[in-house]
Chain A
Amino acid sequence: MKINKALMLLGLLAVSPATLAATGIAFIHGTGHQTNALADYWTPEFVNSVRQGIPVPNNYTVINCDFDQYMWEETAAGCLATQLNSFIQAKNIDDLILLTHSNGGNVVRWILSNPTWDSRYPAVINATSKVIALAPSSAGTPLADAVNQGNVFETSLGWLLGYGSNAVKQQQVGWMANYNNTWLYGTSGRPSLGKPFEVVVGSDVDSAIWDSDSYCAGYQYQVALETTQNWLDSCSDGFLNCSSQKAAGTVWFTDKQKTGGQEPLSHQQSRRACFNLDTLIRNHI
């Protein structure tokens, strides 16, 4: 009788969720306060395509946090850690892939660099196997500096940066340099992040009205791009210099090296199913 009970217990343990570790993927948005990032930030087309690359495609989560705040704040990294821990526990994830876009890469770097800031962080770090960072703003952007010149208490709504928020202040070039030198790992001369941080770099913007490629989440205003180019290098995704995107981690690829038709990825396009980006990520994970 006792033997039967023991065998049953072993059988239960064998199929118990606790013993079935799994791969999972989390989609982590950039600057902005998201409540439905699947529809408003990523699009279902992109998410549903990418998640087919893991053994159990349902092991995915789309993060919705307030990344208008400083990366370290409760509503930013705290929210992210809570949602990731819930996902890790619910699905018994021990091989967690974090797919970030833009400032989402900074929030993730904050957690990886500062495990003792918050007791929720270590479990996230331990479960994470790698980060795929799409156009991360690792060294900030001069456009954030421009909108913060003078006495800025608030600014108008914009689709890229959000309001004149603390997240926008944080992404000023000098501010990111200071954070990178003190609180964040992964940049040159600083400790390693401890996890692979693989970067996809957007290097150019196609916006000519006669180019149909520019209509995949493309820009409407060519003249506006020419204006912001006054602050950017010749290699940029229209929002971030390539040097900023490459500042932390290692480059997985620069858009034209792998995209369909060797098309560049603008900052908007690097979070959408444009030019096979979704397929490239799906096959990579």
Chain B
Amino acid sequence: MHTFTLRTLSKAVSLVILGGLLGACQDEASTPEPQKEASPMYAKGLTLTVPSDTDLVDTEIVSPSLAPINTNTDYVSFISPLYGEYQASQPVLEQASQSDEYWLNVTGAELNAGVTLTMSQAASLVRIAPRSDLSSGALMHAEAIAPERVQIQRIGQAPQGKAASSSPQASESLVKSMVSAEALASAGLVDDSSALQMSEKATAGEYRLQVNQPLTPSANYLVNVKEKGSPYQLSLKAPTAVAADAQSVGIKLALSQSDNQFAPQAKLKQADGEIQTIAMVKRGDTWQAQIPQGMQLANSNAGFSEIEVTVQTQVDGRPVQRTVKSVFKSYVNSASIKPEVLTVWDKGLPNQVNFELNIAETGRFGLSGVLTGTNAEGQRVAIMRTQAANWLTPESSKLKLMFDPKLIQASGLQPPFELNELELQDQGQMARLSFQANALVLTR
């Protein structure tokens, strides 16, 4: 006859808890069955560590308004073995980009009448690309421009270009070469654009670009001036993700070789190509792109939104114009992780962590984390990355991260075991919702 001890009582209670817990879990096939009294498996409640200042954790949740892009309803769990001393990684929250070019939108009528371009150095490239127009309700695509029908002249001087003069010397003095849309497409520029490579004689200054080919007056074109190697680089730093209800987006701008003040102009471009003008306001050393009330930062969960910033100024007497863009994900914080978790242990090793999420709407959510153990020198060593995702509802919002006991045993590592880089994703929005570098110390 077995003696009924406090320890067996504790085990029995654990198994009851475990049974209830596992019953609520989604992956029946891979869940270890709670065994009889002699089972070494038990459950233990733990609490996530308090997020640090560098963690991304927001407990306020909001319902998404855009259609989800991943509606798979399967529970999927995956474990990848990791080796070596653990190197903690942090998500990149800021992007940097720089530009030595600018672009502007013009109509066919404007190109036929002539548009003014600024160039800050010799041998710039001028590209003219037809663009689309939906203003009539139907998609209209402008026709490509034959480069030999383009003329370019320095403002205040006689026209230059093949179409402008019968003198070969004159026509070749400002334009070094010209490229048709067909030729550019063969080299990877597939937007029907044609280009003029300016010569060394086309030095910094203002130029007039005119197209002699009759164009549809309302047709849209893009004129792109590229100044490779220019010392005048417009640099931008901006966030990689922006909350959908943000009223402004902070952008740091700097033009190299210049301390001049400038007044940037900005446009919001959504993933489908729709563009709207937005205002820029300076606060301290940061520009704020103002998002008008009612304007959506994104109209789809697919792709990214962009803010294009154009700057015009003078540097050392040269006209400098630059366009640079930021790329960001617009998202809503549709879920958060509840700090109380239930860990399951098997033969003294962590087997799984069961999370419960606060979610605003039904959707597909994913969790991932890195399990580490401790070596003889007391260093944290990575054992595995564990990931899981499932279709969750506000009423059924549990998600478990599994561990592979064979990998833990093979590692030879000892406690404390820790769960790091705990990341919550909304796969419907394709957005990272939270990240905690050191999320949980797994104590038996």
Contacts and interface: CB of A to CB of B under 8 A. Distances in A.
B222 A149 contact: yes
Nearest to B123: A230
Contacts of B437: none
Contact of A230 (B74, B92, B228): B228
A228 B189 contact: yes
Nearest to B125: A230
A40 interface: no
Contacts of B240: 178, 181-182
A225 B187 contact: yes
Interface string A41-72: 00000000000000000000000000000101
A243 B108 CA distance: 38
B140 to A, nearest CB: 10
Contacts of B74: 118-119
B306 A181 contact: no
B188 A141 contact: yes
A155 to B, nearest CB: 4
Interface string A115-141: 111110110010000000000000001
B428 to A, nearest CB: 11
B76 A116 contact: yes
A152 B273 contact: yes
B191 interface: yes
Given A119-B72, A189-B89, A150 B222 contact: yes
B131 interface: yes
A119 B387 CA distance: 12
B132 interface: yes
A194 interface: yes
A283 B235 CA distance: 46
A116 B132 contact: no
A152 to B, nearest CB: 5
A194 B271 CA distance: 31
A152 B228 CA distance: 23
Interface stretch (B34-42, B159-167, B244-252, B326-334): B326-334
20 contacts: A116-B368, A117-B70, A122-B76, A125-B78, A151-B131, A153-B272, A156-B185, A156-B192, A158-B188, A158-B190, A173-B97, A178-B304, A182-B241, A219-B187, A221-B183, A223-B179, A226-B177, A231-B226, A238-B187, A238-B188
Given A160-B185, A178-B240, 18 more contacts: A116-B366, A116-B368, A122-B76, A143-B188, A147-B191, A150-B105, A150-B131, A151-B131, A153-B273, A156-B181, A157-B190, A163-B190, A174-B326, A175-B303, A223-B183, A226-B197, A227-B197, A229-B228
